[in-house]
Structure formats: C-alpha cells, structure tokens
Structure 1
Amino acid sequence: MKVFLIGYMGCGKSTMGRKLSERLDVAFIDLDKYIEQKYFKTIPQIFEEEGEAEFRLKEQAALKEVAEFDDVIVATGGGAPCFFDNMEVMNQAGLCVFLDVDAEELAHRLIHSKTERPLIKGKSPEELVDFILEMMKKRRPFYEKARCVLKGKEIAPEQVVAEIEKRSE
C-alpha cells in the first residue's frame, strides 16, 4: 500500500500522514524532510543557494524514489503535484489523496503554526487569505487529478482509511 497526501500548506498532510502511519502500521515519509536528509540542507537553503528550479528537480527525483517503496504514507510539499509528471507518478504508484481545506481555515492554521514558512512570512491575515486563494487557483487543477478528494475543515484519518479500504476491495 502506498498513499500520497497532497494539498496546500497547512492542510494537515504531515499530521495526517503520521496518524495514518501509526494506524495502518506502515512507514511515514515527509517528502521535504526526506529531501533535507538526502542533501544535508534545509528546503530554504536549497531554494536560496540553488534556486527553485533545482529544488523542483531534487523533489521530483525524491518523489520517484519513495514511489518505489512498499507500505508507505508520503506527505508531499504543497507544490510537488504542480511540477513535471509528479501527479502521474503518484497516481500510478498508489492512492493520491487531496486534502482540500478552505482558504480561511488554512490561513488560520498557518498564522498559528510554529513552522516557519518563507512564502507567507510577514503577511497579514487578510493578505494571507488572498495569497492562498490566488495560489489555490493555480494549484487546484493539479490537486484535483488525485483519485481521492477529501474536503472539509477537519478531515479525520478514518476518512482516508475508508478510502484506502474502498479501493483495495
């Protein structure tokens, strides 16, 4: 079983991935952390030193690597589905799940998050909602290629488990 969790930053991919990993007794991989460990640099360092284009190539290579693993839950970075053939890779390798959370809820979560996110640094709550809406307009066509779309403010791990079970019958 391979499950890929996609969606905008703050939608809960990593939190959901850890919960699913425990519940289903399979490995969990946060793709950004995987990249950081592989290259011994943080994602912001890679962006700063090598640029976004190089980061996206590293991300694509890492995604293809983890797509070969068995019994794994993978939380991707928010932009990963939007480049190259990444959506096709995920859909062919396993179940791709889009965690679709509305912009106001994402903004609330991101403002209260302890994780530093360079893309949104210094934005007011109103600016953040507008920024998220604009980014989602660009990303939604990619995200919606996922075989499973779960929409809501609070998406429970049980919902993802139910989708996995439904598809493995």
Structure 2
Amino acid sequence: MKRIFLIGYMGAGKTTLGKAFSKIKGLEFIDLDWYIESRFHKTIPQLFSERGEDGFRELEKRMLHEVADFEDVVISTGGGTPCHFDNMDYMNKQGETVLLEAKPEVLFNRLKISKNQRPLLAHKSDEDLMNAIKEGMTSRAVFYSKAMFRFPSDELESKEQIADSVQKLSELLNI
C-alpha cells in the first residue's frame, strides 16, 4: 500500500508531477482541490468566498482525511493544506510526504498565468505577486520543513523534464 502526499507552494508542480508520476507507477492520482470541487460542485474560489478562509480550511481538512484513507494513491494537496490544523503531522502518519521546491522566479512565471483562478493571488500586480510568493514561502517554511522528502521542481516545463523528474522522484522514494 502506497500513499504519497505532494506538498509545496502554489505553482510548485504538484499536479503536473503527481499526474505523470501516478500514471507511470500505476497509482491513483487525486488533486485535493479537484476532489473538493467535485464533491461540493463548486470551485475553490466559490467555496473560499462563501465560507471564508477558515471555513474553507476546515472543509479542506475533512476532505484530506477522507482521501488519506485511500490506498495506492498520489495526493496533490493545496499549497496551504500543510499549514493548518495538524494536517502536516497527519499526512506524515498516513504516508510519505514530498515537498516540491521551486525558486520564487519559477513560481512567479507559473502563477502569473493562472493567478485569477487562485483566491489568494487574484488582482495582484506583478510586484505584489512576487512579494506574496516570497512572504508565503517564508511563512509556510516551518510547515513544509516537516516533509519527509524534498524534491526540486523548477524543471517541469516540457515532457522531457517531467519524465526526468518522474524518474528522479521514483529513485528518491525507492519505488
């Protein structure tokens, strides 16, 4: 039975790498945000707006506990998931946790494209976005540092880079 949790800041490549890795390894892939959206038939921004951050984080915790019971699965968490309640300790007990680490400049380029779909980043200028990334990474470091493994995720821009990263992640996790 395998249970792998991918954590990291928004845009670190959790979904990109998680989908590719799970496909190659024959594991189920769950993006926690997508799972929440499908369960509640609402987008994350809608849920965030309706419930506020605290209400959303409570819902996210419940859904994390639900998917953490699945077996042979790769779970891509939201960037803030490890930072609330006892989520990080819980994931470490339930399976293996991998922190995907990307440089702020890489995150900026990825997030700039999709910032309007992300409630915490919508309507930020480029300068504010870069500052938010740096501040967010700093404030989340204490939680992210509890991950069992660290994995560089700057190079996930091409099929070749993704395939190479899948191979390296397989070696890191000995799978």
The two structures have a TM-score, normalised by structure 2, of 0.89
1:137 maps to which residue? 138
CA–CA distance in structure 1, aligned partners of residues 81 and 28 of structure 2: 20
2:11 maps to which residue? 10
CA–CA distance in structure 1, aligned partners of residues 94 and 13 of structure 2: 22
Letter in 2 for 1:22: K
Sort the Cα spacing of 1:16 and 1:115 in 2 relative to 1 into closer, same or farther, 3 A. Answer: farther
Bigger shift: residues 156-165 or 90-99: 156-165
Shift of 1:158: 1.6
Shift of 1:52: 1.3
Matched, 1:109 2:110: yes
Sort the Cα spacing of 1:114 and 1:24 in 2 relative to 1 into closer, same or farther, 3 A. Answer: farther
Letter in 2 for 1:81: P
Identity %: 46
1:161 maps to which residue? 170
Deviations 1:35-63 (A, max 9, x none): 11112221111111111111111111111
1:77-88 alignment, distance < 5 Å: 77-88=78-89
Deviations 1:101-155 (A, max 9, x none): 1111100111134872232223233321111001111101101100001135226
Letter in 2 for 1:47: F
2:149 maps to which residue? 148
1:93 maps to which residue? 94
CA–CA distance in structure 1, aligned partners of residues 98 and 116 of structure 2: 23
CA–CA distance in structure 2, aligned partners of residues 106 and 161 of structure 1: 23
Letter in 2 for 1:84: F
Unaligned segments of structure 1, at least 5 residues: none
1:45 maps to which residue? 46
Bigger shift: residues 155-164 or 88-97: 155-164
Secondary structure in 2 matching 1:120: coil
Unaligned segments of structure 2, at least 5 residues: 157-164
Matched, 1:70 2:81: no
Bigger shift: residues 8-17 or 119-128: 119-128
Secondary structure in 2 matching 1:145: coil
RMSD, matched Cα:
1.6
Secondary structure in 1 matching 2:11: coil
Deviations 1:62-84 (A, max 9, x none): 11111111000000000000001
CA–CA distance in structure 1, aligned partners of residues 116 and 129 of structure 2: 15
Secondary structure in 1 matching 2:120: helix
Displacement over 6 Å in runs of 4+ = none
